[in-house]
Amino acid sequence: MRGKWLARHHRAAPTRHAPQLWRIRRISCAAWRRRPDCRCTRRVTRLRSIVNASETSAADSLYDGQSAESLAVLLSLPRVIIFDDLPSTLDVAHDLGEKGAEAGTLILADAQSAGRGRMGRVWRSDPGAGIWLTLLERPAGDESLGVLALRLALAVAPALDAFSVDPVALKWPNDLYVAGRKLAGILIEARWHGPRLDWLAVGAGINMRVPDGLEVAGLADGTDRVSVLRAIIPALRTAVATRGLLTREELRRYALRDFAARRRCTSPAEGIVAGIDAAGSLLVDTAQGRTASRAGSLILAPTDTHSLGDSA
């Protein structure tokens, strides 16, 4: 029932395909899951007012000394919008998507007060502490959505290796780790017009420096954000444009970076992590045999967490 209500009121059609595709399709901000007589409409109206006002003020914002126009040239993008502070770059991307923004539009924020993660998690970031971005894309079809988070992480990891003291590892389904601690995460949100995929909002958060008291990873000292953007934006765009399931080569590269390989987990199944398959499913060897999970979070057993267990 909820999927039908979302499709009717927010143009995000429920899928009849695999569970992981359904999870991507139904993502929206928490307020949009309420009925129209609640505060949903007022929140969306406020968001659009904030975005419209912020776009005007964002014209003078700089990102590590670079203007939006110069970044667009450096990154070969049609448009870059820079915000000093913002609830979430994902919300701005969806508002711009409705207005017909071009594929390749990039939204950057120096700080976020309500960044979004998987399972509805919300986080706050300090100014200059990392790269908080959303890239708006309009792919031709939706057949690759089930593996896109993994494909994006696979593309970004080698780009970030150049800015990290240790190699970047991957944790299913959307996290990047360094030395056992979370460095970055990727979140995809999609919007449909009826059965047609209209746009994707590809959100990414990458820690540049580690805030006091948090057990997370950061990039090497002295790394500048513009250099990181020049490395990861082409990788993200290429991954979005790639069609089909994960290839044998992609599976090989994932195995080399698999943070959880051969470790014991308690979710989405209890057993030993055995990698992923071409459809992006997590493979776990349990007492009853091998399982393949396309949804949920990977939670490692306490002895195998390496400081962090649950995927954010």
Predicted TM-score (pTM) of this structure: 0.78
The C-alpha atoms of residue 280 and residue 268 are separated, in whole angstroms, by 14
Residue 128 burial (CB count, 10 A): 12
Q: What CATH class does 59-251 carry?
A: alpha beta
At 206, the amino acid letter reads I
Tokens coding 282: 């997590």
Tens digit of pLDDT at every position of the chain (312 positions): 444 333 333 333 333 333 333 333 333 333 333 344 444 434 444 444 445 544 544 556 899 999 999 999 999 999 999 999 999 899 999 999 999 999 999 999 999 875 575 555 656 677 888 999 999 999 998 999 999 999 999 999 999 999 999 999 999 999 999 999 999 999 999 999 999 999 999 999 999 988 766 789 999 999 999 999 999 999 999 999 999 999 999 999 999 999 999 999 999 999 999 999 999 999 999 999 999 999 999 999 987 654 333 333
- Measured CA distances, 268 to 48, 169, 227, 274, 312 (Å): 37, 20, 37, 13, 14
DSSP 66: B
State residue 287's pLDDT score: 97
- The domain segmentation of the chain, as residue ranges, is 59-251, 260-304
Measured in degrees and rounded to the nearest 5, phi and psi for residue 195 equal -85, -5
Give which of 35, 50, 133, 56 is closest to 89, Cα–Cα: 133
Of 82, 265, 116, the residue nearest 202 (C-alpha): 116
